[in-house]
Chain A
Amino acid sequence: MRARLATWGPALVIVLVAVLPVVWVLKMSLIPRRELFRSPPTVLPDDITLQHYRTVFDDPAFRQGLVNSLIIAGATTLLALVFGALAAYPLARLRFGGRTFIMTGILALAFFPSVAIIAPLFVEFRNLQLLNSYAAVIIVDTVFALPLAVWILTAFFRQLPRDLEDAARMDGATTLQTFRRVIVPIAAPGVFTAGILTFIFAWNEFLFANTFLFDESRWPVTVVIPNFATQYSIDYGGQAAAAIVVTVPLVLLVLVFQRRIVSGLTAGAVKG
């Protein structure tokens, strides 16, 4: 028994600490109001209600927020993958001067404090009449997703066998043709991994959206949530339900793709 506890103990503690808060909030979202305010609180729910979820989904701003998040995160992912794959291939495979310089420049962006550029971008977007548009947030999100995308894709491109490219060259294909016809198809798993991580990044982004979008109808769900919490400031069940709704798609992504996420996050972090 003690031996069992020793092998399972650490795992159990870590899992509980990571997951328990989420489970507790899930419980808060499912119990009726009077049980929520009961003291001492119930450990297991006495009663289950979907009332709070109705509050959330009846809120038009929240529904629109989910749609906006999908649009912004979807477009960002697509753009970051195209730009990122185009940049990663030469960084991984081609010979040219200034590779280190360019790679350093792109990766330096991962260290960049976002607030350093919100003032000029605000002014610029205002002049270009892009304030309050999806485009403004998508452009900035794409740029800040690039270090991650380029990093992962470069690591994956390097792992591909060279034979196929050499064969394509022999057959007279240009570099670009080789990239499109040979590399992209076999690198699909790597591209997919980079896509998942970019999507999570863009779905979670808050600062830029909170800066460049004023109109409730454009807000992604990350901006809707704090405002929802202010608006329904004493509807704790509603707030809990809102938190859970935003979380569910991400938890599903993690459950389904955990191996890819881990390999993507640690790609290139280790030599060897």
Chain B
Amino acid sequence: MTSVATRPDAPGGDVAAAPRRRRMTRARREERRTALAMLSPAVAVIVAVAFLPVLYTIYLSFHDATVTRTGGWVGFDNYSGALRDEVFRTALANTVIFTVVSVALELALGLAIAVGINRAFRGRGLVRTAVLVPWAFPVVVSALMWRLMLQDQVGIITYVVQELGITDSPILGDRWPLMIAAILVDVWKTTPFMALLLLAGLQTIPRDVLEAAEMDGATAWQRFRDVTLPLLRPAILVAVLFRTLEAWSVYDLFWVMTDRRLDSLSTYVYEGVRVSQLQFATGTAAAVLVFISSIVIALVFIKGFGAKTLQEDER
């Protein structure tokens, strides 16, 4: 769990070898050749199945493409077509709302759980097992389970909501109740993951730092705000970045949970590319927009907030 420390013997850290580096020894050359050979299968499939296809998507998005032919050059027509499309705009709005609200809730709850588990209270092992349960399911299964509970004839949640007099209309019908339900399921399902990552971060904070703060008379809240939070910042940034990008490309949950009544950017792409193939070209433009916006989000986190996604000794 504590994993990789920065090690003196890590590759590249071989300072003593510097003078010898000018001429590669035979052993070094063999090592290098073997390294590249061992890496090549993984690199080859990744390039062929992920990186080249993205370029191909970009290429297609500037053409009047269908599934069977590339078609003529149309410039930015597909992009303006998507942006003018009411369905796309709703999908964009839905995705923004879903991402912001669910990630914010997951961070708050995940932090609370992580701090709670980290204090050695009883039942830690039990909690750890229990929170892994929602995490391990396929999204489609969690969506189905919650749909059953929200269903207007047999759903327990609907029954309670109606008994309490909050609403009488079926939850799985309108946009906003559906959105709230989708966020609820996402929070239920992915908060554990958030909590685990944050807990791992918390466990690296040395106890004596917190004890010293306590000796100096800091209250529990002050210790949390001024000691724990700043030290936890790297772990928080990485966890939030992962979750944000995952929520940004939400597909399964909207597809199954809402019975296609609620669109996200990804379901919009899927509709275009796979379902109504007349919209193939618009779908590819939307796909490129999803890709580029994901890169922008990642860059904001990495450059703007200084999120570190690689370990120290890998730079």
- Interface on A for B, CB 8 Å cutoff? 7-8, 10-12, 14-15, 17-19, 21-22, 24-25, 28, 36-37, 39-41, 82-84, 86-87, 89-91, 93-97, 99-100, 102-107, 109-124, 126, 139-140, 142-144, 146, 150, 155, 158-159, 162, 174-176, 179, 200, 203-204, 206-207, 210-211, 221-222, 225-226, 229, 236, 239-240, 242-243, 246-247, 250-251, 253-255, 258, 261-263, 265-272
> Would you list the 9 A-B pairs with minimal beta carbon distance, nearest first?
A11-B123, A90-B35, A266-B200, A120-B56, A113-B249, A87-B42, A204-B138, A117-B53, A116-B291
Min CB distance B6 to A, Å, is 7
30 contacts across the A-B interface (CB closer than 8 A): A7-B122, A22-B145, A37-B153, A83-B42, A91-B39, A94-B11, A97-B32, A99-B11, A112-B294, A113-B249, A113-B287, A114-B266, A116-B288, A118-B270, A120-B53, A121-B53, A122-B273, A140-B49, A143-B49, A146-B45, A158-B3, A158-B7, A162-B9, A176-B38, A225-B256, A226-B256, A243-B148, A253-B136, A254-B136, A270-B203
In angstroms, Cα B188 to Cα A121, docked, is: 33
Does B15 lie at the interface of the complex (its beta carbon under 8 Å from any beta carbon of A)?
A: no
Chain A interface SS verdict (over half): helix
Does B31 lie at the interface of the complex (its beta carbon under 8 Å from any beta carbon of A)?
A: yes
Min CB distance B266 to A, Å, is 4
Min CB distance A146 to B, Å, is 6
Min CB distance B3 to A, Å, is 5
Min CB distance B220 to A, Å, is 14
Q: A-B contact count, CB below 8 Å? A: 332
Chain B interface SS verdict (over half): helix
In angstroms, Cα B51 to Cα A231, docked, is: 38
The answer to whether B46 touches A155 (Cβ under 8 A) is no
The answer to whether A206 touches B6 (Cβ under 8 A) is no
In angstroms, Cα B172 to Cα A194, docked, is: 38
The answer to whether B141 touches A150 (Cβ under 8 A) is no
Knowing A119-B57, A262-B132 are in contact, say whether A113-B245 is a contact too (CB < 8 A). yes
The answer to whether B144 touches A239 (Cβ under 8 A) is yes
- Interface on B for A, CB 8 Å cutoff? 1-7, 9-12, 14, 28, 30-32, 34-36, 38-39, 41-43, 45-46, 49-51, 53-54, 56-57, 60, 67, 113, 116, 121-124, 126-141, 144-149, 151, 153-154, 156, 159, 163, 188, 192-193, 196-197, 199-201, 203-204, 235, 238, 241-242, 245, 248-249, 251-252, 255-256, 265-266, 269-270, 273-274, 280, 283-284, 287-288, 290-291, 294, 298, 309-312, 314-315
Q: A99-B12, A114-B251 are in contact. List 18 more A-B contacts (CB 8 A).
A: A10-B121, A11-B122, A14-B127, A21-B134, A21-B145, A28-B148, A82-B41, A89-B38, A104-B310, A110-B242, A113-B248, A115-B265, A117-B287, A119-B287, A123-B56, A162-B9, A179-B38, A254-B133
Min CB distance A228 to B, Å, is 9
In angstroms, Cα B37 to Cα A174, docked, is: 13
Min CB distance A265 to B, Å, is 6
The answer to whether A95 touches B113 (Cβ under 8 A) is no
Knowing A90-B38, A102-B43, A225-B141 are in contact, say whether A262-B53 is a contact too (CB < 8 A). no
* Residues from chain A with Cβ under 8 Å of B283 in the complex: 119
Min CB distance B253 to A, Å, is 10
* Residues from chain A with Cβ under 8 Å of B140 in the complex: 206, 222, 225-226
* Residues from chain A with Cβ under 8 Å of B255 in the complex: 206, 210, 226
* Residues from chain B with Cβ under 8 Å of A39 in the complex: 159
* Residues from chain A with Cβ under 8 Å of B245 in the complex: 111, 113
Min CB distance B242 to A, Å, is 8
